[in-house]
Amino acid sequence: MSATAKGLILLCRPGFEPECSAEADVLAKRAGISGKPRTETNSGCVHYVFDEIFDWKLAQDATPFHALVFARQRSVWVERLSDLPTEDRATPLIEAIEALGVQIGRIEAETADTNEAKTLGGFLKRFIPHIERALSARRILRNKADLPTLHLYFKDSSQIDLGLSDPGNASPWPMGIARLRMPRNAPSRSTLKLAEAFDALMTEDERVQSLRAGLYAVDLGAAPGGWSFQFAERGLHVFAVDNGPLADALIQTGMVEHVKADGFNWRAPRKQVEWLVCDMVEQPGRIAQLVADWVATGRCKRAIFNLKLPMKKRFDELKRCRQLIDSRFKVHGDSYVLRIRQLYHDREEVTAYLAKIHPHTLPSDKQSGR
């Protein structure tokens, strides 16, 4: 017996439900899946409901998490429990999980990222351990890393949606929220955005290869230095390009050279630049073209950058930025990897990772929009 998919459960930043719905619709229809999104304004959640029901693993493989930008978390929706009795919510939930016929490796209790949903925190801390003990006793919860994750999405304490995902095909963080500690000496909280991007957008091999001491990075729009800080802490040398001031403590590390210049016109004096990062407040299309030019022409090997999306037509603007990047690489006939995600530490922007693909790179990485 295998669980059947009703649709997808997509968690997003409140206010971005239209963009999350649009990309889910595009992804599903590209895979030949018919369905429609259901959501509410500022709910922080989208249910993409399939018109037909089929095996949950097929649904998951057809809608891979890495292809989504605006969804912080994605699971395959397999069951809904509504109107749970206050006196015993556990029994019907345990029975529903058992009826799925799926062994699981772990449980993630999830809510929307809203003030209303946060009131469930205390209830979930008491409730979930009881469910985990009961499922362990029934040998459904096995604590094995290769088994699926069971997502329990609580709209409130009386309605629970059950979702499934395989390891590596969902966010590793509960609800897709990276809870990072603010470094004591960091010049600004924007440093957390780049720290999250390293984990969310790069593979472990890519991090090991590119975040090594002694390499060079360029930070366009650096002030006050939150992104430069991430490289300096790892022993990379940084050209911090900005007419504004940098934090004195950052300069004193000896790893950061402050360049007072326009980030659109400045060029690095060294040929072997590993990194370009850019958090400048500018039209997203202009940033996309600038960064693509750096990577495509070999002035840097890889880049992480923000695209500040307009309030209207965000989804269309992101599509346009992808096309601009693709056009730039076609001039040279090169392949590239592009991964984009709206991170937890993003606001009205999305964060992207771009790198040219070299011959030794696996063919599965060859893409123009992952």
Q: Which listed residue (36, 57, 308, 319) is catalytic?
A: 308
What is the CATH architecture of 191-365? 3-Layer(aba) Sandwich (3.40)
Mean pLDDT of the chain: 93
pLDDT tens digit sequence for 177-207: 999 999 989 999 999 999 999 999 999 999 9
Give 113-156 pLDDT, tens digit per residue. Answer: 999 999 999 999 999 999 999 999 999 999 899 999 999 999 99
| CATH class, range 4-176 | alpha beta
Considering only 70-79, 231-240, 359-368, which range has the smallest mean pLDDT?
Answer: 359-368
pTM, entire model: 0.92
DSSP string, 168-234: TSS-SSGGG----PPPTT-SSTTHHHHHHHHHHHS-HHHHHHHS-TT-EEEEET-TT-HHHHHHHHT
Q: Given this model, what pLDDT does residue 369 score?
A: 39
Residues of the chain within CATH 3.40.50.150 domain(s) are 191-365
Taking only the tens place, the pLDDT of each residue in 203-219 is: 999 999 999 999 999 99
Q: Is 308 a catalytic site residue?
A: yes
Do residues 216 and 270 make contact, with C-beta atoms less than 8 angstroms apart?
Answer: yes
Report residue 183 as tokens: 């470094």
User: How far, in Å, CA of 290 to CA of 325, rounded?
Assistant: 9
* CATH 3.30.70.2810 residue spans of the chain: 4-176
CA distance 14 to 11: 9
